[in-house]
Amino acid sequence: MTVHTAPVAILGTGHCAPDRVVSNGEVGAAAGVDDAWIVRKTAIRERRWAEPDQATSDLATGAARQALEAAGITADQLSTIVVATSTPDQQQPATAAFVHRNLGGTGTGVSAFDMNAVCAGFVYALDVVHAMVARSGGYGLVIGADVYSRILNPADPRSVILFGDGAGAAVVGPADSGRGIRASTFHFYSEMTDLIRVPAGGSRQPCDPATHDAGLHYFAMDGRTAREFGNATVPGLVKQFLHDSAVLPSDIVHVVPHQPNGVMLDDLVSRLDLPSATLHRSVNEYGNTGSASVPLTLDRAARSGALRRGDLILLVGLGGGVSIGLTLLEW
């Protein structure tokens, strides 16, 4: 666990989602399931999917602009941009490079790169940017963005009904003492690497007609095992994290977790033993937006006025790998 002593905080947040609303009826038709089945299994009622001309960097840029405005700074004040994504615009260069260009960056004295911890990516990236800002000063931009609709098998009810596209962003910078990013911890379970996967498209299995015909370019996962693993693992990690941070479970005012599935989310959070915490969710309207789910949900909570100065917020990231990240914020 890392305890952060430098006064660095989230100064502004933003999010961006495509305009196109995709109903359960639309995704369920090809997958052979109906609206009632999807709602019963996932609590998801709709999601947003990108238009053909929209890429991950476009959504990331939209979220970034909102976050910059909320923080009251301009893009030329940024010292670093990190995009957490598992659906980059292209293999090279980093999606963060396109975001920097879209924001009108000049490149002088700025670092811009991507991270991939799948759906836990934003929590991982937030810790990296915190360290960079604490060491060197300036302002950092952390973005979680994914366009999963491009890698979904329309006939697979285990995945196509779950995912939406979106982006969430946060500006990180120096803050008043007594608030900010207080602590983080990370865990990785590489024995579970095959649980969530896109087999083709990398150096081990480049995309070719054979992998395409076999559907290996599609996202796939063992949802039941993922749910069982999360329920069995995350509550104990949260309990230990709060203990190590000298925080009581009753001190947590808000919990902002990854949004894998509404039913799974309720089940998981009920096991966390956070009696005073408000659960913030976006999954019902946006679906699982991958690495965007934590920052998108956080921004919705911030813009609703639910987050008050001094509130303790627990971020919970859970992604393929399997990667788990926990961060404690004082708003």
Give the catalytic positions in this structure.
119, 258, 288
56-71 and 293-303 helices cross at what angle (nearest 10)?
40
The tokens for 171 are 């500006």
Closest of 226, 221, 119, 90 to residue 161, by C-alpha: 221
Q: Is 275 exposed, middle or buried (0-12, 13-18, 19+ CB in 10 A)?
A: exposed
Q: Verify cis geometry, omega within 30 degrees of 0, for the bond prior to 22.
A: no
d(CA 124, CA 116) in angstroms, rounded, equals: 9
CB 92 within 8 Å of CB 98? no
Q: Is 279 exposed, middle or buried (0-12, 13-18, 19+ CB in 10 A)?
A: middle
Closest of 94, 96, 70 to residue 15, by C-alpha: 70
Q: Tell me the CB-side half-sphere exposure of residue 120, using CA atoms within 13 A.
A: 24
Q: 202: helix, coil or strand?
A: coil
d(CA 157, CA 136) in angstroms, rounded, equals: 47
Q: Tell me the CB-side half-sphere exposure of residue 183, using CA atoms within 13 A.
A: 15
